[in-house]
Copies of this chain bind each other. A is one copy, B any other.
Amino acid sequence: MRVTFREQLDSLRGSLVVMGSDVTSAMRWATQSLLEGELDPASRCIETAAAVRQRRDEVEEAVVTLLVRQQPVASDLRLALASLHVAADFERMGALAEHVAKIMLLRHPITAVPPEVARVARQMADIAERLAWKVTGVLETGDATQAAELETDDDEMDALHQQMFEVLFGQWPHEVKAAVDAALLARFYERYADHAVSAAQQVVYLVTGVAPAKQD
């Protein structure tokens, strides 16, 4: 019975891998549309975010089915809840990618990212994508060693967020609107990274069975 529960839970990991892969692509497309002014990737991002929302519902339904069929012990239940946490983080990451795409669409054909902030935005986007890609990789391979790197990546993200504010609060030659857009974009990338780190803690739990330390 126990083995079956874990095996079934493991098969849920497949759905989470697809979600992780989708939110990685969604943010890549959002960034591409933002920095290169292309409309098509923005649409793909928005469609993908909707698909991710749908898949989260399916994961929840699958967990309910699994829990009804089996009588799991507490440790199994905690793993099932960890899967739900990961699905929730991925859903938010999809929504944040969508926010980036929507700022691009709102300002198009004017760019929401003037040259002064394009470099920092690109770096934030690269880290965001790398974090999502790594957490998806840990889910897929079950190899948790990469997860440790995520904290370092997240520190880099925080430093870039700070840099963005320094640019905006220095000699800003553009309208207030462009500064507000850039501040919101920075926040979206940073939140995306936070959710990736949060997902990674639960993913490590899923693949190793070792519970994450409580954050405060």
Q: How many copies does the complex hold?
A: 2
Interface set, chain A 46-85, CB cutoff 8 A to B: 50, 53, 57, 60, 63-65, 67-68, 71-74, 77-78, 81, 84
Q: Which residues of B contact A184 (CB under 8 A)?
A: 183-184, 187
The minimal Cβ–Cβ distance linking A4 to chain B, given in whole angstroms, is: 16
Given known A50-B216, A177-B169, contact A74–B84 (CB-CB < 8 A): no
Count of A residues near B, CB < 8 Å? 32
Q: Is A193 an interface residue (CB 8 A)?
A: no
- Provide the main secondary structure of the chain A interface: helix
A74, B81: Cβ atoms under 8 Å?
A: no
* Shortest Cβ distance from A68 into B: residue: B74
A 167-183 to B, binary, CB cutoff 8 A, 1 in contact else 0: 01100100111011001
* Shortest Cβ distance from A92 into B: residue: B92
Q: Is A150 an interface residue (CB 8 A)?
A: no
The minimal Cβ–Cβ distance linking A160 to chain B, given in whole angstroms, is: 16
Q: Which residues of B contact A67 (CB under 8 A)?
A: 67, 72, 77
* Shortest Cβ distance from A60 into B: residue: B81
Q: How far is the CA of A14 from the CA of B54 in the complex (A)?
A: 31
Interface set, chain A 109-162, CB cutoff 8 A to B: none
Q: How far is the CA of A214 from the CA of B61 in the complex (A)?
A: 13
A64, B81: Cβ atoms under 8 Å?
A: yes
The minimal Cβ–Cβ distance linking A76 to chain B, given in whole angstroms, is: 9
11 residue pairs of the A-B complex, CB under 8 angstroms, read A64-B77, A64-B78, A64-B81, A68-B73, A68-B74, A81-B84, A168-B176, A169-B175, A179-B180, A180-B180, A184-B184
Beyond the given A168-B176, A184-B184, please list 17 additional residue pairs across the A-B interface where CB-CB is below 8 A.
Answer: A50-B216, A60-B81, A63-B81, A67-B67, A67-B72, A67-B77, A68-B72, A68-B77, A81-B84, A84-B84, A165-B180, A169-B176, A169-B180, A179-B179, A179-B180, A183-B183, A184-B187
